């Protein structure tokens, strides 16, 4: 609805029309807003709706929260409660009262802190400060524990008592700090940095740090939700265990720490081994070692008995070796005789072969072969000479038949140019060129005066 056009059409409005149009202007032109203040004049009529006045030191405004919305409020508001409301700005037409229609209500202190907590948690999570890949493993048996907490709080008493009961041999270095108030977060972060700066001192270096305090409200624990402390925990080279408040309390420090313990007492039990259990384990190992040694001794005794049974007198061993030596001597003689007989047979065989292949017999055979080859060579040479003479005569006759010299003897001539190439056509020369004319008994050097073509 266009309220301005309605006003222009009618210059006179009734009171109800004015209030309605004012309400419409406020509700359509103002979005949902957050307002903080103190409750007064709070009432709960039988309708189930809530009516109240929200005020601060200088002003107040009437408010209404309908039943379908106030059923969602998680606390019991009363006069004097400091609250944060999300509301629509409106006017109650019946009386023309300016009022706020409440959509959501929460306690002011807790709600503001909770929003800060959620915003910082989301931002640090996106940066990766909560990522598991950056968390360090805790030592199974720390050589020294660094305790960052208040030196006068209840948490330190519980922690030291449990450490003393479970494993008193682990030394503890206290890094005292306030754990509540405006300066607490910075002081806690400085103590973390101080503990890390001792890393080069082998005697004072801590293997793990325990960041702790007892329970309290969100305001009491707020130092552990500060960004400066979260980044100090993340940048620590020493693994950090957080043990802050009760089991249901969660802080930003818990998400950044390498390990979160539900309570300070639980953290002490996590970091310290059970001394009684270790002692029992050592006794078990002692018994196991004793049993193992006895088994080894028994096994060695059995081995000695076995070796004693195998041990023989040196005289008996020499007699046995002498018998073996005689047997080897007899076998050696037999082997030598067998080898000599074999060599004699080989020599006899070789003499027979030598006689069969005596050089005089081979010479006679070779001389006969030479004589036969000489006869074959003489006959072959004679036949070859006759063939070569006949081929020569045929070639001479053929050469004379095609020789140009025969042509020259019949009165013909051959014309050559300066390069001794045959001139085959009158087109190859022009007047003034020199040519050589080859005759039967010599050559004529001529100059071309005129060219006469037959075509």
Return the structure tokens found at 422: 């045959």
Q: Where along the chain do its domains lie? A: 3-114, 142-273, 407-447
Pairing of strands 145-149, 172-176: parallel
pTM confidence score:
0.46
Is the alpha carbon torsion for 337, 343, 346, 351 positive or negative?
A: negative
Q: Yes or no: say if 434 and 446 are a contact pair by the CB < 8 Å rule.
A: yes
User: Contact, 432 vs 447, CB < 8 A?
Assistant: yes
Q: Cα separation of 45 and 183, whole Å?
A: 46
pLDDT at 351: 79
d(CA 278, CA 449): 138
Contact 193, 207 (CB under 8 A): no
CA distance 168 to 164: 4
d(CA 214, CA 433): 133
pLDDT per residue, tens digit, the chain (455 aa), is 454 555 455 578 898 888 889 888 888 888 888 898 999 999 999 999 999 999 988 999 999 999 999 998 888 899 988 888 999 999 988 888 899 999 998 887 666 677 788 889 999 999 999 999 999 999 988 999 999 999 988 889 989 999 888 888 889 999 999 999 889 999 999 999 999 998 787 788 999 999 999 888 777 888 999 999 999 999 999 999 999 988 888 899 999 999 999 899 999 989 988 767 777 777 888 888 988 898 888 888 888 877 777 776 777 778 888 888 888 888 998 998 989 888 888 888 887 777 777 677 778 778 888 888 988 898 888 898 989 889 998 887 787 777 666 676 677 788 888 888 888 888 888 888 888 888 878 888 888 888 887 76
What residues contact 326, with CB distance under 8 A and at least 6 apart?
Answer: none
Please give the DSSP secondary-structure letter assigned to residue 450.
Answer: -
Between CA 44 and CA 345 the distance in angstroms is 140
- Strands 434-439 and 414-416 come out as antiparallel
Is the CA virtual torsion 11, 14, 18, 23 positive or negative? negative
Task: Please list the helix, strand and coil fractions of the chain in percent, rounded to the nearest 5, in that order.
Answer: 50, 20, 30
Give the H/E segment covering residue 94: none
The burial class, CB within 10 Å (0-12 / 13-18 / 19+), for 436 is middle
Complete DSSP assignment for 293-362 = HHHHHHHHHHHHHHHHHH---HHHHHHHHHHHHHHHHHHHHHHHHHHHHHHHHHHHHHHHHHHHT-HHHH
Angle at CA of residue 76, ends 71 and 79, nearest 5°: 120
User: 3-114 belongs to which homologous superfamily?
Assistant: Nucleic acid-binding proteins (2.40.50.140)
pLDDT for the residue numbered 229: 94
Under 8 Å CB-to-CB from 244, ≥6 apart: which residues? 211, 212, 213, 221, 224, 251, 253, 254
Top CATH class, 142-273 = alpha beta
Interatomic CA distance for residues 200 and 208, integer angstroms: 15
The two three-digit tokens of residue 315, written as one number? 């005289």
| pLDDT at residue 4, rounded to an integer | 54
- What's the token pair of residue 447? 């100059």
Six-digit token string for 71? 């059923």
Determine the Cα–Cα distance for residues 98 and 447; give it in Å rounded to an integer.
142
Q: Which residues contact 22 (CB under 8 A, 6 or more apart)?
A: 91, 96
pLDDT attached to residue 322: 85
Q: What is the pLDDT of residue 110?
A: 64
The whole-number pLDDT of residue 1 equals 47
* H-assigned helices in 151-274: 154-166, 184-197, 227-234, 252-256, 264-271
Which residue has 């009618």 as its token pair? 10
């Amino acid at each position: 609805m266009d309220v301005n056009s309605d006003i222009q059409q009618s210059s006179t409005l009734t009171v109800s029309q004015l209030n309605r149009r004012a309400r419409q202007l406020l509700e359509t032109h103002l979005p949902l807003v957050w307002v903080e203040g103190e409750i007064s004049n709070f009432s709960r009529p039988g309708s189930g709706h809530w009516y109240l006045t929200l005020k601060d030191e200088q002003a107040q405004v009437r408010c209404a929260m309908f039943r379908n919305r106030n059923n969602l409020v998680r606390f019991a508001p009363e006069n004097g409660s400091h609250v944060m409301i999300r509301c629509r700005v409106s006017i109650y037409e019946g009386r023309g009262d300016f009022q706020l229609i409440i959509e959501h209500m929460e306690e002011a202190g807790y709600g503001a802190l909770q929003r800060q907590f959620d915003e910082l948690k989301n931002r640090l999570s996106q940066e990766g400060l909560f990522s598991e890949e950056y968390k360090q493993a805790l030592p199974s048996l720390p050589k020294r524990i660094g305790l960052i907490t208040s030196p006068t709080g209840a948490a330190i008493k519980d922690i030291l008592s449990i450490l003393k009961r479970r494993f008193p041999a682990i030394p503890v270095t206290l890094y005292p700090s306030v754990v509540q108030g405006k300066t607490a977060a910075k002081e806690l972060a400085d103590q973390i940095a101080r503990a890390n700066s001792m890393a080069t001192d082998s005697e004072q270096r801590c293997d793990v740090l325990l960041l702790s305090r007892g329970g309290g409200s969100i305001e009491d624990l707020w130092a552990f939700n500060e960004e400066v402390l979260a980044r100090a925990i993340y940048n620590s080279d020493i693994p950090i265990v957080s043990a802050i408040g009760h089991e249901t309390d969660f802080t930003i420090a818990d998400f950044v720490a390498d390990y979160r313990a539900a309570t300070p007492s639980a953290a002490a039990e996590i970091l310290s081994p059970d001394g009684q259990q270790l002692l029992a384990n050592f006794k078990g190992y002692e018994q196991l070692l004793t049993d193992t040694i006895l088994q080894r001794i028994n096994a060695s005794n059995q081995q000695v008995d076995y070796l004693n049974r195998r041990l023989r007198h040196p005289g008996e061993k020499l007699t046995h070796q002498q018998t073996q030596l005689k047997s080897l001597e007899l076998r050696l003689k037999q082997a030598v005789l067998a080898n000599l007989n074999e060599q004699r047979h080989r020599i006899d065989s070789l003499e027979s072969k030598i006689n069969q292949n005596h050089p005089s017999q081979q010479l006679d055979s070779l001389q006969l072969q030479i004589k036969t080859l000489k006869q074959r060579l003489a006959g072959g040479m004679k036949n070859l000479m006759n063939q070569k003479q006949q081929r020569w005569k045929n070639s001479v006759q053929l050469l004379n038949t095609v020789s140009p010299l025969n042509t020259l003897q019949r009165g013909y001539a051959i014309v050559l140019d300066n390069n001794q190439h045959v001139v085959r056509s009158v087109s190859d020369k022009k007047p003034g060129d020199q040519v050589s004319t080859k005759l039967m008994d010599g050559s004529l050097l001529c100059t071309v005066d005129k060219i006469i073509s037959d075509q």
